[in-house]
Structure 1
Amino acid sequence: MRLWLAGCTLTSGLLMLPVQAESATVQQLEARMTQVLSQELKQWQQHAGVKDLTKKITVRVPSGAEKLTLCPKSPTINSADIDFGQVQRKLSCPSLGWSLYVRAKVQVSARLPVFKRAMKRGEQVKGQDITWMKLALKGSDKEVLTQASDIIGRQMVRKLHRYKPIKAMYLGAPVLVKLGDKVIIEAKSQGFYAKMFGEALESGREGEAIRVKNLSSGKIITAYPTSKGKVTTHF
């Protein structure tokens, strides 16, 4: 009976021991890593024009950091382009001469344009093909397109399933002139400029050679789209 009571007392004492708090250095590294990743994510959000975004940053500091002396100043960190998913950065304390790599998991969800249906290669994207969804972003999604205006009017160069992040690699240059469009033909040379009306006999992107009919003379010429509804020809 005495042995049993002694065991209970010992166990209770162990349970009441305080949990060792994180070292000040570990806390400093966690705070610095979180600060820099949050700043980079904010910059990406502003540049991309994303309004609805949620994030969660989980920092994992190596156990050896507990033995390091607290850096007198905020540790330096190698900045980089925004990363989603698993991230690793080098943090250093120049005044004390130590450095180490710290890992973090960056979880990001953003409201982005997606396709309502699977899009095939060669299809031209229309406004009705687009909807908006909140998507979780992965490390490979840094180049995702965030504005419908950057997608509509362009041509698919590879197949993409619906409700997936849309990246520039899936899209070709936008078609500036379509078959049957009425266009303005600009003719330029040294000291000469003329403008006339024509009709596109082919569709084309910027700089592509297409056939255009001059509506004044009826002649068919080669011209090059320069913007929406405009082509230029060279003498």
Structure 2
Amino acid sequence: MSEQTTFFRRFGKLLCNAIFLPALLGLSQLVDAAAVTRPQQLIDVTRDFLEQSVTDYLQRSQIQGRHEVEVTRLDPRLRLAQCDTPLSTRLESPAQPVGRTTVRVSCEGSSPWSIFVPAQVHLYREVIVASRPLKRDSVLSAADVTLAERDVGLLNQGYLTELDQAVGNKLTRGSQPHQVITPNQISLAEIVRKGDQVVITAKNAAINVRMPGEAMDDGALGEQIRVKNVRSGRTVKARVVGAGHVEVAM
């Protein structure tokens, strides 16, 4: 065999390798990619699951609000076996799909696996906030509070959604403008003060007696306070039923 023929044969092999080897490698990469579950698939199925879960939760609870689902970015190098059945999803925590959540995504096929995907569900609702600086023990008026949209998933201390839940009640600690008013900041305002002259009512099915009295304690609506009967000088326990009006059980 001549040196020229040998050269052309070797050149032909090199040319074939140069053309077909990259193509084969590319095909191999496509096969490998098809054989794994990509991180984006996990993100997509988690987002779809949470979108439906939040919608169902809002309808079931009759809550008005808007929501946004944010799924945490996963490591792009993550490789899980391609699932030969539809992926299953389950809310791992918390009990309701609001705030920081974790979704368990699982493959229940021939090569089973599970992975926990973290996410954040933002639920925006109109809640009560202070409209100006407020001092402790101040009785809230309509001018003191207003409604503003907040992400309630971040409000770990709770929140109020109706103005009448705050107006007329007492603030147990001060608040700054635009600060959310929480349930534990609110207490019933006293409508009877120590030393106030009150009407004591004592009644049952048969009789109804009214007499003058003097409050010995401060009291909010529904609270039990000590009251002195002005006529007899006797001190009794009575329930505050209105401004200047208490009731004794008989």
Structure 1 and Structure 2 fold alike (TM over 0.5): yes
Show CA shifts across 1:115-137 (max 9, x none): 22222112122233222233344
Give me the whole-angstrom Cα distance separating, in 1, the residues matched to 2:197 and 2:79: 66
SS at match of 1:101: strand
Per the alignment, residue 167 of structure 2 pairs with 152
Per the alignment, residue 88 of structure 1 pairs with 101
> Once the 2 structures are TM-superposed, how far is the Cα of residue 171 of structure 1 from its aligned partner?
1.6
Q: Which structure would you say has the larger RCO, counting Cα contacts within 8 Å and 6 or more residues apart? A: 1
> Once the 2 structures are TM-superposed, how far is the Cα of residue 80 of structure 1 from its aligned partner?
1.1
Give me the whole-angstrom Cα distance separating, in 1, the residues matched to 2:90 and 2:84: 13
Q: Is 1:121 equivalent to 2:113 in the alignment?
A: no
- Summarize the Cα distance change of 1:89–1:227 in structure 2 as closer, same or farther, 3 Å threshold: farther
Per the alignment, residue 106 of structure 1 pairs with 121
- Summarize the Cα distance change of 1:122–1:32 in structure 2 as closer, same or farther, 3 Å threshold: same
- Summarize the Cα distance change of 1:102–1:22 in structure 2 as closer, same or farther, 3 Å threshold: closer
Per the alignment, residue 72 of structure 2 pairs with 60
Give me the whole-angstrom Cα distance separating, in 1, the residues matched to 2:210 and 2:90: 61
- Conservation of the 8 A alpha-carbon contact between 1:25 and 1:68: no
Show CA shifts across 1:183-220 (max 9, x none): 563456xx986453656635313334243656xx5756
Return the match for 1:225 from 233, 239, 242.
239
Return the match for 1:35 from 27, 45, 52.
52
Show CA shifts across 1:11-56 (max 9, x none): xxxxxxxxx9876554323211332234335556x35xx4xx3322
> Once the 2 structures are TM-superposed, how far is the Cα of residue 107 of structure 1 from its aligned partner?
2.9
Q: Is 1:211 equivalent to 2:224 in the alignment?
A: no
> Once the 2 structures are TM-superposed, how far is the Cα of residue 102 of structure 1 from its aligned partner?
1.5
Q: How many residues align?
A: 204
State which drifts further: 162-171 or 95-104. 95-104
Per the alignment, residue 183 of structure 2 pairs with 168
- Summarize the Cα distance change of 1:109–1:219 in structure 2 as closer, same or farther, 3 Å threshold: same
Per the alignment, residue 6 of structure 2 pairs with none
* Partner AA of 2:47 in structure 1: E
Alignment RMSD (CA, Å): 3.8
Give me the whole-angstrom Cα distance separating, in 2, the residues matched to 1:112 and 1:74: 35
SS at match of 1:75: strand
The alignment-based identity, stated in percent, is 13
- Conservation of the 8 A alpha-carbon contact between 1:30 and 1:61: no
* Partner AA of 2:185 in structure 1: Y
Show CA shifts across 1:45-76 (max 9, x none): x35xx4xx332212236343764526536422
> Once the 2 structures are TM-superposed, how far is the Cα of residue 100 of structure 1 from its aligned partner?
2.0
- Conservation of the 8 A alpha-carbon contact between 1:183 and 1:197: yes
Show CA shifts across 1:96-115 (max 9, x none): 45322212233333322222
> Once the 2 structures are TM-superposed, how far is the Cα of residue 138 of structure 1 from its aligned partner?
5.3
Give me the whole-angstrom Cα distance separating, in 2, the residues matched to 1:181 and 1:41: 49
- Summarize the Cα distance change of 1:26–1:107 in structure 2 as closer, same or farther, 3 Å threshold: closer
- Conservation of the 8 A alpha-carbon contact between 1:115 and 1:162: yes
- Summarize the Cα distance change of 1:220–1:93 in structure 2 as closer, same or farther, 3 Å threshold: same
- Summarize the Cα distance change of 1:119–1:25 in structure 2 as closer, same or farther, 3 Å threshold: closer
